[in-house]
Structure 1
Amino acid sequence: MAGTLLGAVVCTLFVAANCFYTASDDVVELTPTNFNREVLQSDSLWLVEFYAPWCGHCQSLTPEWKKAATALKGIVKVGAVDADKHQSLGGQYGIRGFPTIKVFGANKNKPEDYQGGRSSDAIVKGAFSALQSLVQDRLSGRGGGGAGSDYGRQSKSNGGSGGSTKDVIQLTDDNFDREVLKSDDVWLVEFFAPWCGHCKNLEPEWAAAASEVKEQTKGKVKLAAVDATVHQGLASRYGVRGFPTIKIFQKGEDPVDYDGGRTKADIVARALDLFSANAPPPEILEILNEDIVKKTCDEHQLCIVSVLPHILDTGASGRNAYLDVMVKMADKYKKKMWGWLWTEAGAQLDLETSLGIGGFGYPAMAAINARKMKFALLKGSFSEQGINEFLRELSFGRGSTSTVGGGAIPKINTVDAWDGKDGELPAEDDIDLSDVDLDDFDKDEL
Structure 2
Amino acid sequence: MRPLFFGVLGCSLVLSVQAFYSASDDVVELTPSNFNREVIQSDSLWLVEFYAPWCGHCQSLTPEWKKVATALKGIVKVGAVDADQHKSLGGQYGVRGFPTIKIFGANKNKPEEYQGARSSQAIVDGAMNALRTLVKERLSGSSGYNKQQGGGGGGSKKDVVELTDDNFDKMVLESDDVWMVEFFAPWCGHCKNLEPEWAAAATAVKDQTKGKVRLGAVDATVHQGLSSRYGIRGFPTIKIFRKGEEPEDFQGGRTRGDIIERALDLFSDNASPPELLEILNEDVLKKTCEDSQLCIIAVLPHILDTGAAGRNGYLEVMMKMAEKYKKKMWGWVWTEAGAQMELEASLGIGGFGYPAMAAINTRKMKYALLRGSFSETGIHEFLRELSVGRGSTATLGGGAMPKIHPIEPWDGKDGQLPVEDDYDLSDVDMDDDFGKDEL
Structure 2 length normalisation: TM-score? 0.61
2:272 match: 280
1:308-387 equivalences under 5 Å are 308-358=300-350, 361-387=353-379
Tell me the CA shift for residue 430 of structure 1: 4.1
Distance 2:233 2:148 in 1: 25
Q: Secondary structure at the match of 2:437?
A: coil
Distance 1:199 1:393 in 2: 43
Distance 1:265 1:316, change over 3 A: farther
2:164 match: 172
2:437 to 431, 438, 444: 444
Tell me the CA shift for residue 432 of structure 1: 4.1
Tell me the CA shift for residue 436 of structure 1: 2.0
Q: Does 1:187 align with 2:176?
A: no
Identity of aligned residues (%): 77
Question: 1:364-383: per-residue Cα shift (whole Å, max 9, x none)?
Answer: 11222223323222222211
1:29-44 equivalences under 5 Å are none
Q: Secondary structure at the match of 1:306?
A: strand
Distance 1:399 1:209, change over 3 A: farther
Partner amino acid for 2:162?
Q
Tell me the CA shift for residue 156 of structure 1: 8.7
Structure 1: gaps of 5 or more residues: 1-154
RMSD: 2.7
Distance 1:174 1:381 in 2: 56
Partner amino acid for 2:251?
D
Question: 1:412-438: per-residue Cα shift (whole Å, max 9, x none)?
Answer: 111111111121222334444432212
Distance 2:367 2:193 in 1: 40
Question: 1:374-402: per-residue Cα shift (whole Å, max 9, x none)?
Answer: 32222222111111122223333333333
Given that residues 216 and 337 in structure 1 are in contact (C-alpha distance below 8 angstroms), is that contact kept between their aligned partners in structure 2? no
Distance 1:290 1:315, change over 3 A: same
Question: 1:105-130: per-residue Cα shift (whole Å, max 9, x none)?
Answer: xxxxxxxxxxxxxxxxxxxxxxxxxx
Distance 1:158 1:207 in 2: 8
Given that residues 179 and 241 in structure 2 are in contact (C-alpha distance below 8 angstroms), is that contact kept between their aligned partners in structure 1? yes
1:127-146 equivalences under 5 Å are none
Q: Which structure: larger Rg?
A: 1
Question: 1:285-327: per-residue Cα shift (whole Å, max 9, x none)?
Answer: 1111111112211222222111111111211111111100011
Question: 1:190-249: per-residue Cα shift (whole Å, max 9, x none)?
Answer: 122344443344334333332232223221211112233333332222111222211111
1:226 match: 218
1:414 match: 406
Distance 2:253 2:351 in 1: 47
Partner amino acid for 1:301?
Q
2:202 match: 210
Q: Does 1:402 align with 2:394?
A: yes
Distance 1:228 1:412 in 2: 55
Partner amino acid for 2:307?
G
Q: Does 1:295 align with 2:287?
A: yes
Q: Secondary structure at the match of 1:166?
A: helix
Tell me the CA shift for residue 177 of structure 1: 2.0
Distance 2:160 2:335 in 1: 40
Tell me the CA shift for residue 189 of structure 1: 0.7
Q: Aligned residue pairs: how many?
A: 292
Tell me the CA shift for residue 170 of structure 1: 1.9
Q: Does 1:258 align with 2:217?
A: no
Given that residues 186 and 219 in structure 2 are in contact (C-alpha distance below 8 angstroms), is that contact kept between their aligned partners in structure 1? yes
1:242 to 209, 234, 238: 234
2:50 match: none
Q: Secondary structure at the match of 1:280?
A: coil
Structure 2: gaps of 5 or more residues: 1-146
Distance 1:365 1:198, change over 3 A: farther
Structure 1 length normalisation: TM-score? 0.60
Partner amino acid for 1:353?
A
Distance 1:234 1:288, change over 3 A: same
Given that residues 312 and 424 in structure 1 are in contact (C-alpha distance below 8 angstroms), is that contact kept between their aligned partners in structure 2? yes
Q: Secondary structure at the match of 1:276?
A: helix
Distance 1:376 1:279, change over 3 A: same
Q: Secondary structure at the match of 1:267?
A: helix
Q: Secondary structure at the match of 2:406?
A: coil
Distance 1:235 1:201 in 2: 20
Question: 1:125-182: per-residue Cα shift (whole Å, max 9, x none)?
Answer: xxxxxxxxxxxxxxxxxxxxxxxxxxxxxx9999623432332222223322221122
Distance 2:227 2:287 in 1: 42
Given that residues 305 and 366 in structure 1 are in contact (C-alpha distance below 8 angstroms), is that contact kept between their aligned partners in structure 2? yes
Q: Secondary structure at the match of 2:416?
A: coil
Distance 1:203 1:379, change over 3 A: farther
Q: Secondary structure at the match of 1:444?
A: helix
Distance 1:216 1:326 in 2: 24
Distance 1:422 1:183 in 2: 42
Given that residues 295 and 361 in structure 2 are in contact (C-alpha distance below 8 angstroms), is that contact kept between their aligned partners in structure 1? yes
1:428 match: 420
Given that residues 213 and 222 in structure 1 are in contact (C-alpha distance below 8 angstroms), is that contact kept between their aligned partners in structure 2? yes
Given that residues 150 and 156 in structure 2 are in contact (C-alpha distance below 8 angstroms), is that contact kept between their aligned partners in structure 1? no
Distance 1:165 1:393 in 2: 39
Distance 2:280 2:149 in 1: 55
Distance 2:417 2:334 in 1: 22
Partner amino acid for 2:427?
D
Distance 1:157 1:411 in 2: 44
**Is 377-386 or 365-374 further displaced after alignment?**
365-374
